[in-house]
Amino acid sequence: MTFKIAAKKVETGEFEMDRVNIHGVYINNITMRETVEKVMEWINGNSINAVYTPNSEIIMQAQRDPELKSILNNAGLLIPDGAGVVLASKILGTPLKEKVSGIDLTKKLFETFAGKNVGFYILGGRPGVAEIAAVNIMEKYGKVKITGYHNGYFNPDEEDHIIELINESRADILLVGMGAPKQEFWIHRNMYRLSCKVCIGVGGAIDIFAGKASLAPETIRKLGFEWLYRLIREPRRYKRMMDLPRFIILTIKKRIFNK
């Protein structure tokens, strides 16, 4: 069954988008083009909106953490980051249109807003990494407006100052790369103190733009084996990766017992 729920109120009024229930996490059934269009609409509005990019691991974390599940479901957009989420939607009989990963969305936003008066602030990564990412982004995407950056390793007593820096930069889009679910909790806790229009949880994208990490080759990503590529490169992730088979087993059980 596909669920339809009202999303946030924006300048153009109330709108509704189809959402697909994946184990209690309501993923927007939306394409990359539609996602970019929604971000553009928000930039021209007067509200602040959050975009989260849950994959199979994050959805499984949400099964164990009701607060995380609530935060995800209250996002302005919840896009399917990962082939596992798209596969689950098909198994459950409510297929999502396509995978919309956080890194691909970020690249598309840079391409879309290059040369336009839309500012990005980069928050995340180890000290020095966000700065390198900003330089690389401007070199690759041309006239992308990076209004500021700060690493993600700061103490709670520094948070007010960081909020001030972001607001003083007059950024429209805040990219938060602290890893899930830390970045989702941070955005949820602070977004209404921010003057930007859109906050996006981008996970490890900042490290990728800085050249500190690499994406799986496109062929592997299209086949849905990005998780295996990451496991081979980062074997310490194997405990977290155990959520992937649990996710598929849970999905199959739900399909069988709900039928």
pLDDT tens figures, 230-252: 656 666 655 666 788 899 999 99
CA distance 154 to 110: 26
Q: What is the mean pLDDT of residues 161-188?
A: 97
Which tens digit of pLDDT belongs to each residue from 10-37?
333 334 579 999 999 999 999 999 999 9
Is the predicted pLDDT of residue 5 greater than 80, yes or no? no
Query: What domains can be seen in the chain, in order of their start residue?
Result: 1-32+50-98+214-259 (no CATH), 101-207 (3.40.50.2300)
In what order do the strands lie in the sheet containing 16-22?
2-6, 16-22, 25-28
Task: Return the residue matching tokens 């690759």.
Answer: 140
Q: 66-73 vs 182-190: helix axis angle to the nearest 10?
A: 60
Is the predicted pLDDT of residue 43 greater than 50, yes or no? yes
- pLDDT given at position 107: 98
Nearest to 154 by CA among 122, 188, 126: 126
Q: Which one is predicted more confidently, 239 or 45?
A: 45
- pLDDT given at position 95: 97
- pLDDT given at position 61: 96
**What is the model's pTM?**
0.88
> Could you tell me where the beta strands, DSSP code E, fall in the chain?
2-6, 16-22, 25-28, 49-52, 77-78, 119-124, 145-150, 173-177, 198-201
- pLDDT given at position 13: 36
DSSP string, 99-138: ---HHHHHHHHHHHHTTSS-EEEEEESSTTHHHHHHHHHH
Task: Return the residue matching tokens 């993600």.
Answer: 152
